[in-house]
Structure 1
């Protein structure tokens, strides 16, 4: 197993991405510490992992609150002895943020994803890195969709926030990789097997005057494979990149866009 004897903390574990990654990490032998702002959704994922024989703990943690994050991580270290991987998968609702021309978008709505994503990822990463650096190893991980790199209309401040995450990923690696702490971002297309993309594509379709199915087909056609990234694909690559087998990878973005973006 790729992650045997690893302690992994997942933020936003009750969401589609966080849940899928947590399940795969547990399948690969990791002990997973699931967090989120709503315990019921996190517990649902925890019960699934436990039922499959995985080692799992669940807790309420606000990834935007440094005190909440640091206190939880301190408890994880006391309980498990280390923090080997930190995966931040938090998300925010796209309603009022996407599908709106920039000229009509309120400033607060434009800034919300920029401040939320950068603050949450900075807080969780720096808090985990303090423990990892003292141990001399660890992996910080995040996920962005393709607007972090390509120019798409009606995405508002989301694309700016996601691009800032990728820049933060590089900056963290520049400081921490020399201490054994790798920083990795995984970039995908929009994933139609996540509930949020159903909402996002609906907002964009309405703004463009087409059906959601038409928008989905057009988005899929932009990839070389003619289909979007799937959650299972993201989770599988995340597990590999979190493992020691990917020890040479840091400060980079793993391209899982199926050819939509060609590096």
Structure 2
């Protein structure tokens, strides 16, 4: 008799849409969702950036679809979601992981930062997250079930220099997360934000830390050590840790969590 228990997949029969799926965060969570049984719908402005991710998921036995979607364009988002629902019957999780280049936006004193560069992350993040959340919620509310998810780094809460409008844009995302929950949780739709440190294994943080190191007149390695030393663990959040948390929070096991920020900063921020 085989007493070995069959592995329970946390997201079996769930349909997940990931925006910015070609980036480090988007691709990592997409793989994690697929590994736990979800059917994942990868989106990006360019199919080339998500083809590799889709092939990896498919090769591992996962169910995956790809589409060109501009998360800042409401028509693009709504048409794609209508197609997903027509095909899969539901949208269970919407994870927006879009990002923008930090060049010209970070590592510059506020007194020297052009207003348009200050505003770019604020308007980009607020618009894209509002559009993707609203568009998904219209389908989720009808079924009285769903999870809206987003990711922010620690400057969303922690006052740090030389991050320009990025910190304000990320703080706006966390404020939006609370607002979404206040309206939609009563209809079965949860809103969750995951807050991490900068993850040094990602290409964008490699660029960001280089910009900050140059601004401070130190090496990138010195800046990485400085940033990592701020946490209680003396090391940054990893993509694997973010992915594991995202999978759990997207699952029904986290049904009581909404309108909140999952603090994955390892003690840099203590709530």
Task: Tell me the TM-score normalised to structure 2 length.
Answer: 0.97
Shift of 1:38: 1.1
Paired position in structure 2 for 1:88 = 96
Cα deviations by residue, 1:40-85 (Å, 9 ceiling, x for unpaired): 0111110000010000000000000000000000000011000000
CA distance in structure 2 between the partners assigned to 1:107 and 1:190 by the alignment? 25
Shift of 1:90: 0.0
Cα-Cα RMSD: 0.3
Paired position in structure 1 for 2:267 = 259
Q: What is the aligned length?
A: 263
SS at match of 2:236: coil
SS at match of 2:262: strand
1:217 and 2:225 are equivalent in the alignment = yes
CA distance in structure 2 between the partners assigned to 1:20 and 1:87 by the alignment? 12
Structure 1's consecutive aligned runs of 4 or more residues displaced over 6 angstroms after TM superposition are none
Match of 1:59 among 67, 80, 91: 67
Paired position in structure 1 for 2:5 = none
Shift of 1:244: 0.2
CA distance in structure 2 between the partners assigned to 1:80 and 1:40 by the alignment? 24
CA distance in structure 1 between the partners assigned to 2:202 and 2:268 by the alignment? 19
Match of 1:119 among 110, 116, 127: 127
* Residue segments in structure 1 that go unaligned for 5+ positions in a row: none
1:10 and 2:18 are equivalent in the alignment = yes
Bigger Rg, structure 1 or 2: 2
SS at match of 2:256: coil
* Residue segments in structure 2 that go unaligned for 5+ positions in a row: 1-8
1:180 and 2:188 are equivalent in the alignment = yes
